[in-house]
Chain A
Amino acid sequence: MFSNYGRFVKYICYKLTKEGGFDMKKKILYSVIALCMMCIGLSGANAWYTITSSIAGPDMTPGTTTSKGKTGSLDSAYTTATAENTVVLFSNLKSINSSLVSSNSRRMYGYLYEYDVANSDDHVKTYTWTFKGRALDSVTITTHLTGNIESSGDNTAELYMKFLTTKISGDPSGTKTGSYFTYAMGMN
């Protein structure tokens, strides 16, 4: 438990040093969160039980779904890993490459999967992002599955993401989006 928990605290420390920036308010906030989480951890209860380190979003070709991203083997605090306990955190959100057309109609989709060795991988959630111009605007989470995503008693889920940024008429062929966000996958 301490080693998994340590990964979460490490994530918060990472947020403090780079992505939290040097906004004092955020520094204080994340420090308090880390302290609280350490106390909660010692008492036996956890928020995100395990989480991957920050992963750079892919450099995407508009209109093409990416291949499988980095897989995280993540333990849930509960007996069996369930869809409801998966989480994806996005951060360092930027805009797409300036060579692409500015369009409020553009979308970015983040598809969360759970690797299944015997059957097709489970499509757990979709994160649908909207744009204002070239900047990300909002995100809506659709949860496709409920309940267990592993066999009963198996609390370890193997999660990965695929992404798609839609193509808009006028986008130059061969131009990619750039990596415009980072993400981390976790289990509660």
Chain B
Amino acid sequence: MKKKAAILVVIIIIFIFAIFICLKNQKNNKVKEDLNFLDKCAYEQVSENWIYYFCISYLKDENKEFKVINEYDFGGYDLLNKDLSDEYGIPVKDKKTGEIIDYMDVNTHGLLYGKKTREDTIKIIDYFNSPNFKQENLEEDLKELNLSNINENIVIKLYNKCLKESDITFGKYGENPFVATLTHEALNGTVEVGYILYYGNIKFLKIDFIYKDGNHLSDIIKGNDATDKQIEDYNKILSLEEKIVFTQKLDLDDDFEFNEFDIAYLKKLLSELIEE
């Protein structure tokens, strides 16, 4: 009798678990089925800090195929907000005077927000989305934009790469901003994570540790002063970044320990930064 009761309890637990999984998948499937657009993007890490991208957004045509180009987008982000060579913010204008009266803080430094790169970025985006855009004149037209701080060759490279991108499946992280950065205080410094999504999939994820003196672990490694423990941590970070992007899972193994900070801070940070 007791054995039968135990079996019944196990069956009920499995049943409840199965319903939970079905409901969770239903939510994800609902998002995928409802999507009326397809994004194709090409990315390039142009420097240690910067990832540039070019995206084409497609809508469905009358045959329900993603053939109608909705929009072009170009940009770049410094996922760890390390590049201090520019100032970043969104300009605030007064409608009456048309003057810029302030700048507002952004979460992740981007080409669109840099005082040196904003104008170029807007010129590029507006050009591609204008009736004047013709693929055969691309090189010539970009030269005529007279870009000051963005190399038109990287734009051309990314655009051509984007045209060759295959369709991908919408990922499980779609209900998050497509780029974000977050920090979490640890005992002896700060853990920082930044990511870029591609159609709901984590495309890039960067992790770093910032000591209380402001130095980044990723910068210390480049010098000759890094300790063995710091080198070990840095290599673990690189492995972890690759693993997360490859598996699309944010679970951290319990035996994945760092010397410079408690992994609990990183786990908490990831759970706050990206929702599944």
Contacts and interface: CB of A to CB of B under 8 A. Distances in A.
Interface of A: 17-19, 21-25, 27, 89-99, 101-104, 128, 132-143, 170, 172-176, 178, 180
B31 A132 contact: no
A21 B81 contact: yes
A100 to B, nearest CB: 9
Contact of B183 (A21, A102, A136, A176): A21
Given A97-B176, A98-B175, A133 B37 contact: no
B177 A103 contact: no
24 contacts: A17-B185, A19-B105, A94-B106, A94-B107, A94-B177, A98-B177, A98-B178, A99-B200, A101-B57, A102-B37, A102-B39, A128-B95, A132-B112, A132-B121, A132-B125, A133-B55, A133-B75, A136-B90, A136-B106, A140-B93, A141-B94, A170-B70, A174-B34, A178-B177
Contacts of A134: 177-178
A89 B104 contact: yes
Contacts of A92: 105-107
Nearest to B213: A24
A25 B107 CA distance: 16
Nearest to B98: A140
Nearest to A93: B106
Interface string B142-180: 000000000000000000000000000010011111111
Interface residues of B, number: 54
A105 B31 CA distance: 22
Contacts of B75: 132-133, 135
Contacts, number: 145
Contact of A102 (B71, B101, B176, B214): B71
Given A98-B173, A102-B70, A141-B92, 19 more contacts: A17-B185, A22-B192, A23-B84, A25-B84, A99-B31, A99-B170, A101-B36, A101-B59, A104-B71, A133-B55, A133-B73, A137-B90, A137-B112, A138-B93, A139-B90, A140-B94, A170-B70, A172-B35, A175-B31
A99 B170 CA distance: 9
Contacts of A17: 185
Contacts of B234: none
A15 B59 CA distance: 40
B124 to A, nearest CB: 10
A101 B37 contact: yes
B117 interface: no
A6 to B, nearest CB: 22
B177 A95 contact: yes
A141 B97 CA distance: 10
A178 B81 contact: no
What 7 pairs across the A-B complex have the smallest Cβ distances?
A172-B34, A133-B73, A91-B105, A170-B36, A94-B177, A99-B174, A95-B177
A17 B81 CA distance: 15
Nearest to B88: A23
B70 A94 contact: no
Contacts of B35: 99, 172
A27 B93 CA distance: 25
Contacts of B57: 101-102, 133
B178 A95 contact: yes
Nearest to B197: A98
A96 B177 contact: yes
A22 B104 contact: no
B258 to A, nearest CB: 18
B190 interface: yes
A61 B152 CA distance: 37
Nearest to A87: B102
Contacts of B170: 99
A90 B180 CA distance: 16
A176 B121 CA distance: 27
